[in-house]
Amino acid sequence: MRVLLVGGGGREHALALGLADDPSVEALIAAPGNPGIAALAEVRDVDANDPSAVAALAVEVAADLVVIGPEAPLVAGVADAVRAKGIAAFGPSAEAARLEGSKTFAKEIMTAAGVPTARAHTCTDAESTARALDEFGAPYVVKNDGLAAGKGVVVTEDRDAALAHAQECGRVVVEEYLAGPEVSLFVVTDGEAALPLLPAQDFKRVGDGDSGPNTGGMGAYAPLPWAPPGLVDEVMRDVVHPTLAEMRRRGTPFAGLLYVGLALTAGGPRVIEFNARFGDPETQVVLALLETPLAGLLHAAATGTLAAHPPLRWRDGAAVTVVVAADGYPASPRTGDVITGADRAGIIHAGTRRAADGALLSAGGRVLCGTATGPDLAAARDAAYALVRDVELAGSHHRTDIAAAAVEGRIAVPD
């Protein structure tokens, strides 16, 4: 099949690796792609957020399947525009992508579906925000209601900082703090049938020991040696299937990738958030372990035939990815610096571009990540850090504790 991959970050480079590896893929085209993806696919220029431009490109390249990576094109209706041309699209409709596009909508669906999540209030002014903060108490959790590239959430003990973030955002969701280790579970679905991928954990805070501000994600690993047995079955039963059923009941079935972000609290798993697409950087580790051909799986979800898809197969061992971020990330990343040591297997490009002379330059906050597998988590971790050590980028920084607590058996689910 001919596959058009939309997007140009680390997640899309990981998707490109999986798609290029699938023997059923005869041509892989990526738009806009990045220098890492360019080694695997024909790269085309497109405004990924313009539904008619992406649909026209899908027709032009005779795509049999369009895989849409990032959230913004989904919320803009790119999947709808592609499907309107009679081409299969992996990714939810704009209506269904509201599960990610609006935190208030996601809460509404969870309430209607009886999905366990944090209690929350949507607030639009200082007075109602202050009331909600005082109702739930510290630590305070304030979320921008719209898309914010993973950076619209403030979790703080500082009530004034919580109020200031709310004022900056305008419309926010204030919610109770959920204590417990976090899990990212990706579920491939055609709206009815649903296949969970391996649970992973990512690292949202910029600094070691979960210090500093939230980011798009600084690293990830899978699988989770500390996850309770039965976790995935429980989440499928209590979260995923009720959510999919509620979306069908509303006439806006969710087909694509449902990302369930969970906290494993003393009261059981609680949903922190839904996303409408693969998470970045968890995709890098989850797909590194997936043995089942990726294009066939995504095509089945895009064409409503997932119930007939064979069970997923996974490689033994573990995978770890470590993000290298630009100087100043996340507040104000510096771009345009030369990167060396990145042309190696396992380096996944996120925010890079090629200069006219062929030099690799930084072009975003999260620049690249070192992704490695190994027979166990400790070995995968060592291999990922070995990759990162050889990358040179002035002023760059990375966390040194990705997967460390899991390797050392220091993660416990509260009971």
Q: Where along the sequence are the contacts to ligand AMP (CB under 6 A)?
A: 118, 141, 143, 150, 153, 155, 175, 177-178, 182, 204, 214, 261, 272-273
Q: For residues 31 and 264, which CB has a smaller minimum distance to ligand AMP in the complex?
A: 264
Distance CA 261, CA 248 (A): 21
Q: For residues 115 and 178, which CB has a smaller minimum distance to ligand AMP in the complex?
A: 178
Kindly state the helix (H) or strand (E) to which residue 15 belongs, with its residue range: helix 10-20
Q: For residues 34 and 275, which CB has a smaller minimum distance to ligand AMP in the complex?
A: 275
Q: How far is the CB of 64 from ligand AMP (least distance, A)?
A: 33
Q: How far is the CB of 289 from ligand AMP (least distance, A)?
A: 22
Q: How far is the CB of 261 from ligand AMP (least distance, A)?
A: 5
Q: How far is the CB of 265 from ligand AMP (least distance, A)?
A: 9
Q: For residues 29 and 203, which CB has a smaller minimum distance to ligand AMP in the complex?
A: 203
Q: For residues 83 and 107, which CB has a smaller minimum distance to ligand AMP in the complex?
A: 107
Q: How far is the CB of 214 from ligand AMP (least distance, A)?
A: 5
Judging by DSSP bridges, how do beta strands 182-189 and 194-196 pair with one another? antiparallel
Strand order in the sheet with 268-275: 194-196, 182-189, 256-265, 268-275
Sign of the CA dihedral with 162 first, then 167, 173, and 174 last: positive
Nearest to 33 by CA among 22, 25, 44, 19: 44
Q: How far is the CB of 246 from ligand AMP (least distance, A)?
A: 19
Q: How far is the CB of 173 from ligand AMP (least distance, A)?
A: 9
Q: What is the DSSP track for 202-221?
A: E--EEETTTEEEE-S-SEEE
Q: For residues 107 and 398, which CB has a smaller minimum distance to ligand AMP in the complex?
A: 107
Q: For residues 59 and 72, which CB has a smaller minimum distance to ligand AMP in the complex?
A: 72
What are 154's two structure tokens?
A: 């403030």
How far are the Cα atoms of 13, 54, 70, 199 from residue 57, in angstroms, in the given order? 19, 5, 17, 34
How far are the Cα atoms of 268, 301, 404 from residue 237, in angstroms, in the given order? 13, 19, 31
3-state class (DSSP) for residue 104: helix
Radius of gyration of the chain from its Cα atoms, rounded to whole angstroms: 20
Length in residues, the chain = 415
